Amino acid sequence: MALQIANPVVVRKIEALARATGLSKTAAVENAVDRMLAEQNLGDQESVWEQFDAILAQLDQIPDLPTAFDPLEWDEHGLPR
């Protein structure tokens, strides 16, 4: 779907960005939007889950300490008593 920008100030900013970067106006807008999405963590949601999985994998590698204090008693099903 086409996008029409009616605000002449915004159009001038896009044109200036395109000239400064050597990109087309479309590419300049796409690059700016991609950067803002990345800053807001709204980009590729799959990569967010991949990062989350990577963090969990690192946590799984931390060995349990035999001297760790656990205030709860657990039954044979892994539930607190």
Residue 20 lies in a domain: yes
Residue 49 lies in a domain: yes
Beta-bridged to residue 65, according to DSSP, are: none
pLDDT, residue 55, reads 92
Residue 28 lies in a domain: yes
**Alpha-carbon distance 15 to 24, whole Å?**
9
Segments forming the whole domain that contains residue 30: 8-56
**Alpha-carbon distance 2 to 5, whole Å?**
10
Select the more confidently predicted residue: 47 or 3. Answer: 3
pLDDT, residue 46, reads 66
Residue 27 lies in a domain: yes
**Alpha-carbon distance 26 to 61, whole Å?**
45
Residue 64 lies in a domain: no
- Tell me 67's DSSP state: T
Q: Give pTM, 2 decimals.
A: 0.50
* In the predicted structure, residue 5 carries a pLDDT above the cut 60: yes
Number of domain units in the chain: 1
What's the helix, strand, coil split of the chain in %, to 5?
55, 0, 40
Average pLDDT estimate for 1-16: 91
Average pLDDT estimate for 2-20: 93
